[in-house]
Amino acid sequence: MDWCLWDVASFGTAAAVHELFQNRSGSDSNNPKHKTNMRGSGSLPVNEKFTIRKIGLQFDNQVALADVFALTDSAYVEIVVSDRIVCELPLIAIVDRNSYNGAIELASAAAQAAIGRPGDGYGFREPIELSGGDSFSVRITQTTVLSAAEDVRVNLYGDLVTG
């Protein structure tokens, strides 16, 4: 069936590495359904298989404009399956639809800049296969300092087989 797995990273005001999809949805108060729908802790249940066809990223709707540019210009993403990096992408390549469509910033009465970074995520020519029980994560390396803490959601779109 068509499925979307999602998880949220809380980017802070210091550079860090964020490991996503490591906690099962509902496993504690930090992992409610609206933050993650991960089906296991760092892996899928053994009777499931997920084929990743596309990855997307959505910013919190309160993100500061300067932070959007700082992250998309410097952060990068790795998909890790069974302790092996199977994909590396700059963060800007996975910006998803409806996540950040643009802004107008007035620098002075005489100068303004119109900025837009619409996207549709990143689709894989060769899908990434996740078998139940295999460890996996999406690792985001935040190399820059943000002005405030921001939530960033990563969506994995694909096909889920259960049972």
Residue 64: both structure tokens together: 């500061």
The boundaries of the domain holding residue 31 are 2-104+112-161
**Residue 95: strand pairing partners:** 57
pLDDT tens profile 52-63: 999 999 887 777
Q: In what order do the strands lie in the sheet with 122-131?
A: 2-11, 150-161, 49-59, 122-131
pLDDT tens for 9-53 read: 998 878 899 999 999 999 998 899 999 999 999 999 999 999 999
pLDDT band at 113 (very low <50, low <70, confident <90, very high): very low
122: nearest Cα among 22, 52, 46: 52
Distance, CA of 88 to CA of 80 (rounded, Å): 9
Coil/strand/helix, residue 40:
coil
C-alpha–C-alpha distance, residues 7 and 48, integer Å: 18
Prediction pTM value? 0.86
* Dihedrals phi, psi of 2, to nearest 5 degrees: -60, 140
When divided into structural domains, the chain yields a total of: 1
